[in-house]
Structure 1
Amino acid sequence: MKTQAQLEAENAQLKARVQELEVLNKWYEEQLRLNRQKQFGSSSEKSQRDDLAQLNLFNEAEAERQPFMAEPDTQTISNQRQKGKRGESIKHLPVEVIEYTLPETDQACPQCGQELHVMSKEVRKELTIIPAKVKVIEHVSYVYSCRNCEKTNIETPVITAAAPKALLPKSLVSAEFLAYIMSQKFINAMPLYRQEQEFKRLGVVLSRQNLSNWVIKGAGLLDPLLAILKQELLARPVLHADETTLEVLCEPGRPAQADSYMWVYRTSGDTNRPIVLYDYREGRSGQFAKDYLAGFTGYLHTDGWNGYHKVEDAGVTLCGCWAHARRKFKEALVGAGTKQADSPEGIGFAYCNQLFAVEKKAEQMTPEDRHELRQKESKLIVEAFYRWVEACWANTLPQSLLGKALTYVQNQQKYLLAFLADGRIELSNNRAERSIKPFVIGRKNWLFCNTPGGAKSSAAIYSLIQTAMENSLNPQAYLEYVFKQIQQQNDIDVGKLLPWAKEIPESCKMLINGS
């Protein structure tokens, strides 16, 4: 028979075990709800339309089709014409006019036989497109000599008519063609092997090896321009940084499955000359960021990864990301399976939303006015938030999703409060995340880089394309212009090729801003 003390001890052990299992079961439930949300639900940072676009890949036409509606009456049509908004989205496009008139033999009144006159015109517009077409341009330079000198002198002058040099020595590629290949891969995420197939359908046999060589060598031509952009970037007072994985198959001394990284550094919203630069590195050490940002002093937005602390030692103030904090409370809210605003998860999420609501009001303000507004409103919200975090922490399991959210904001408190110091600092690092997204989308299509040289070339081309787009330039037209200038001039002033240079022609600018 067990004694009373033994039974009490065993009961205490069983109660502790039950409590452990309850905690573990709650954790599993949170993970299940969170994974279901990630797989099937909408993201808190995506609009409903973004989710529909992702889900409706195969029934896009049916999803976008509007229900059948009755034809508008004459008065409605008249009002629409008076507003003059029909065709607003296509007014910048070139127009080809095709006129339809009656043959002269039919321009007589069928009733009285008198000559008809033009009473009005009916105009119908339609969009058409010119498909890609490949052609060969032969550059023929005539060579001249003097017949008289041939007969009478020892030396005969030979003069060759000037012609543009090849963009790449001993290569068929032109500035237009190279800009097209780069745009297809780095904007439309079309891998070179698919482009190889597409060119074959156009009647041109080009191996992807040729295409790859052209891209890598063409990227090398951009180095002087990118060097100036980096100098400009490091001179700015506020920057953003982020990084994502990249698989490079043939890295010396490393297995093919080892993760390399593509880093992105970009300007903040305090400038009208935005710059976005990518940097390929074989790892994620904070030393890579420190090396790249050598000479930079100012504010750096990051996502809270501790590798950036190495940059902090070099005269840089790190700024935390409230979007990451809000995301963690949102995950905790989903994991808890509750939508109650008064739940701990809901309260944390609401505090973050209050800060973003203040930022919404400050969008069009000067940095000075934004700083003043934050001191009046945001500072009070942050102080109340951290008092709540301190009180909430005592009753929260550290390994739960709520516990992880609270741990994040506690560990990041110094960096999350940085935005209160200067109106130029942003509330989140979303700007860098948006800039890394085009690379991530491309990676889903081409999966990996074959060599470090290819990865560096990708970083260079992404840099120029994304910087061009941020400056409202058509990236393909801009690349073509840059390559033509490099091809035509031996001693080029690279400063005149910067995206904001006054020398950039109108043909390089986006017809619809932000498209």
Structure 2
Amino acid sequence: MIDDLHYQCDLLSVHADPAVRAAAAEIVTLGIQLSDAFVKAEATNSTLSAKIKALAAEIKRLKTQLKNAQRAQYGKKSEKSDTEKDSSSVGFDDGDPETDDSEEKPDNGSEPSEPEEVPNSGSGKNKKSYPPHLRREQREFEPTSDQLCDCGCGHREIGEEVRERLAYREAEIFIVEEIYYKKVCRNCGQFAQHPVPERPFDGSGFDTSIFIAVLIKKYADFLPLNRITEIFGRKGVHVHRSTLSRLMKKAKGALKWIYEALLADIKSSSKLHMDETHLGQMFPGLGKLKTCRVWALCRDDRRWKGNKPPAVAFRYTQTREGVHAEDMLSGFDGVLQVDAYGGYNRLTSTTRIGEPVVLAYCWAHVRRKFWEELQSNKGKTAGKLIDMIGKLYGIEKDLKGQAHIVRQATRLKESAPIVDQIFACLKDYAMKGAMKTKMGEAVSYALKLEDGLRVFLQDGRVEIDNNNVENTIRPIVPLRKASLFTGSTDGGETWAIIASLVGTCRLNDIDPHAYITWVFEKFTQKVPRSQYDKLLPWHFAEEVEINIRQ
């Protein structure tokens, strides 16, 4: 239309009438201006359209982020597919230690058991028995005089009714006063006095039992020291928080070498799990908390009936650099199950001291990303992938407790084809789908880890996921809530050392109070440091079992 107008104006530009020629020239000028304005309007419209699309994508991203945050705090934690939920429990705990799910019981490798009923107080076939190790306090009651007849014939016992109830007596704080009498012979003057027994913490005004009580309350029950001082205060004993902190520092010094023996024993294994999480530390003058890290190194071979007991060791560091993982794993050259954190890649280097480590990645992390996509956008591909991963977990359920050779053979036969289907689906999506979306990120994440995700197929000792170690760092959640932060690097290291022993006790169903008491008793027997590996928690369990049999 504009071109036709210009053509007509060109014809009029040679018209005999000057007014017509001037009008034609003005029309051409206005047409050019109109054309320029139209081009500018189109450019502005394109810019605004691009901005609208970008804002819409940002709104969608923020809505998804908000929905995921709300689901993490208020929603269900399970990421299982419908087929998994319909079947019986697989026995895998898919919890994320970063979320507040501390009440969920970690999987300890044994079959799920029915919750233990509280025994009733009556008698009969429904009566349940209490644990046999509990002390029994018997109270006997005879019939009162007004219940007995007065015929004078006497009474004979025909039976009894026994009623039981669980009781509690609050811990007692008391003073131990030791008196060592000194004697001398009247004849020869020989002096005699009972020798003062060795104690782990000589020179302290606190009995070993106080050390143990504070240690268990802080590192097993997650009570901060200020609350423990309040508990003591209710008994009329006023102990400053800094005093209890010094006690724990002494306990750390005594237990450090057992921790080193524990770490060495763990690294003697051929397959381990590793993970890390955050813990805040207060630095004077910084004005805010610094995010430090807690690394967990775990051995748990119960699913394939390995011959080594489960154990966990923690390490506290200032940063998340991979060099800390490399240092903690010095001397280990087996299979390491981890998440996708890039800091672990240095362990696979051929320049590493010792053999390179084989990294096995976690299918639970892969499933979690597709589950988040499914919850946000209801994508069919995400649902399909979750169902296929669910089939892998179904196979693992049947393999629980089987020898590693059986697990390997079954996985190659049944799981490998499913894994091939999963990666074929992922690669197909990568060729056709939008890779800059949340779904695309999940697909890229899984494809990047393909080699490590296939390791469990070739080795029956390897688990399908890294949940074993994630369960061991669950206690850090109540620790962060109760204590908020650690006051110093030394405090973080103290936590790591003592929590390693307490966590290993938990994995082996050992009472940490009884174990720490046993360890301190062994210290008084002057056990050489070279034999501290004999003081690890499972040796305590063996000794207790021997004593019970005797």
Q: TM-score, normalised by structure 1?
A: 0.83
Q: Distance in 1 between matches of 2:421 and 2:181?
A: 81
Between stretches 178-187 and 23-32, larger displacement belongs to 23-32
Asked whether the equivalents of residues 250 and 452 of structure 1 are also in contact (C-alpha less than 8 Å), the reply is: no
* Residue 249 (1) aligns with residue 282 (2): yes
Structure 1 match to 2:4? none
Contact 2:280 2:485 in 1 (8 A): yes
Q: Distance in 1 between matches of 2:298 and 2:539?
A: 19
- Give me the whole-angstrom Cα distance separating, in 2, the residues matched to 1:181 and 1:233: 27
Does 2:214 align with 1:187?
A: no
Matched residue count: 472
2:258 — aligned with what?
225
Q: Are 1:366 and 2:403 matched, yes or no? A: yes
Q: Cα deviations across residues 443-488 of structure 1 (Å, max 9, x unaligned)?
A: 2211222222211111110011111221221001111111122134
Are 1:397 and 2:438 counterparts?
A: no
Residues 503, 149 of structure 1: alpha-carbon distance in 2 compared, 3 angstrom cutoff: farther
* Cα distance change on mapping 1:446 and 1:12 into 2, 3 Å: closer
Give the conservation status (yes or no) of the 8 Å contact 1:263–1:278: yes
Contact 1:27 1:400 in 2 (8 A): no
Are 2:273 and 2:337, in contact at CA under 8 Å, matched by a contact in 1?
Answer: yes
Stretches of structure 1 that go unaligned for 5 or more consecutive residues are 56-76, 151-156, 511-515
How many Å apart are 1:377 and its aligned residue?
A: 1.2
**1-structure distance, mates of 2:144, 2:74:** 63
SS in 2 for 1:129: coil
**AA of the residue aligned to 2:315:** D
SS of the counterpart of 2:514?
helix
Residue 34 (1) aligns with residue 68 (2): yes
**Change in CA separation of 1:92 and 1:141 when aligned onto 2, cut-off 3 Å:** closer
1:260 deviation in Å?
1.7
For 2:346, the equivalent position in structure 1 comes to: 310
Quick check: 1:215 aligned with 2:253?
A: no
How many angstroms does 1:205 deviate by? 1.6
C-alpha displacement of 1:135: 0.8
Give yes or no for contact 1:32–1:335 (8 Å, CA) kept in 2: no
| Partners of 1:428 and 1:399 in 2: CA distance | 27
Distance 1:509 1:392 in 2: 62
TM-score (norm 2): 0.78
- Tell me by how many angstroms 1:93 deviates: 2.8
By how many angstroms is 1:91 displaced?
Answer: 5.2
Mapped pair 1:290 → 2:326: yes
Distance 1:137 1:507, change over 3 A: farther
Choose 439-448 or 129-138, whichever is displaced more. 439-448
* 1:295-344 CA distance string (max 9 Å, x none): 101000111100011112242101101111111111111111x3xxx712
Give the distance between the partners of 1:373 and 1:130, measured in 2 at CA: 53
Task: Write the distance in 1 (CA, Å) between the matches of 2:45 and 2:480.
Answer: 56
1:234 pairs with 261, 267, 270, which one? 267
Structure 1 segment 100-499 matched on structure 2, within 5 A: 100-103=141-144, 107-108=148-149, 114-149=153-188, 158-250=191-283, 257-269=289-301, 270-313=306-349, 314=352, 315-336=356-377, 338=378, 343-489=380-526, 491=528, 493-499=531-537
2:544 aligned residue (485, 493, 506) = 506
Task: Quickly say closer, same or farther: Cα 1:53–1:320, change in 2 above 3 A.
Answer: closer
Q: Contact 2:279–2:292 at 8 Å: present in 1 too?
A: yes
CA distance in 1, matches of 2:58, 2:103: 34
Q: Which residue of the partner structure matches residue 23 of structure 1? A: 57
Deviates more, 1:280-289 or 1:240-249: 240-249
Counterpart residue type for residue 262 of structure 2: L
Q: Corresponding residue for 1:60?
A: none
Higher mean displacement: 161-170 or 467-476: 161-170
Deviation at 1:171, TM superposition (A): 0.8
User: One-letter code of the match for 2:465?
Assistant: S
- The answer to whether the 8 A contact 2:312-2:500 is kept is yes
Greater alpha carbon shift after TM alignment, 275-284 vs 500-509? 500-509
Distance in 1, matches of 2:221 and 2:310, equals 22
1:158-181: CA deviations, max 9, x gaps?
443212134323212222221111
Which amino acid in the other structure matches residue 183 of structure 1? I
Deviation (angstroms), 1:51? 9.2
Shift of the 351–424 alpha-carbon distance from structure 1 to 2, 3 Å rule, reads: same
CA distance, structure 2, for counterparts of residue 278 and residue 32 of structure 1: 33
Equivalents in 1 of 2:101, 2:518: separation in Å?
Answer: 37
Cα distance change of structure 1 residues 39 and 496 upon mapping to structure 2, 3 Å threshold = closer
- Amino acid across the alignment from 1:44: S
Is the Cα–Cα contact under 8 Å of residues 314 and 497 in structure 2 kept in the other structure? yes
- Of residues 285-294 and 495-504 in structure 1, the stretch that sits farther from structure 2 once superposed is 495-504
Structure 1 residue matching 2:127: 3-state secondary structure: coil
CA distance in 1, matches of 2:177, 2:59: 73
User: Whole-Å Cα distance in 2 between the matches of residues 239 and 232 of structure 1?
Assistant: 12
Q: Whole-Å Cα distance in 2 between the matches of residues 28 and 494 of structure 1?
A: 54
Q: Is the 8 A contact 1:107 1:115 kept in 2?
A: no
Counterpart code for 1:489: K
Residues 240-272 of structure 1: per-residue CA shift (max 9 Å, x gap): 111112223248x97763222111111132344
Maintained 8 Å contact 2:361/2:449? yes
Q: CA deviation at 1:292?
A: 1.3
The answer for unaligned runs of 5 or more in structure 2 is: 1-33, 80-92, 105-120
The aligned amino acid for 2:373 is A
C-alpha spacing 1:164/1:443, structure 2 compared with 1 (3 Å): farther
State the identity as a percent.
Answer: 28
Cα deviations across residues 360-418 of structure 1 (Å, max 9, x unaligned)? Answer: 11112110000111101111111000111111224443343212211210111121111
Query: In structure 2, what residue type is equivalent to 1:481?
Result: W
Asked if 2 retains the 8 angstrom alpha-carbon contact of 1:319 and 1:415, the reply is yes
- Tell me the distance in 1 between the aligned counterparts of 2:297 and 2:393: 23
- d(CA) in 2 for partners of 1:125 and 1:51? 37
SS in 1 for 2:327: helix
CA distance in 2, matches of 1:279, 1:16: 49
| Cα 1:122–1:272 shift into 2, 3 Å | same
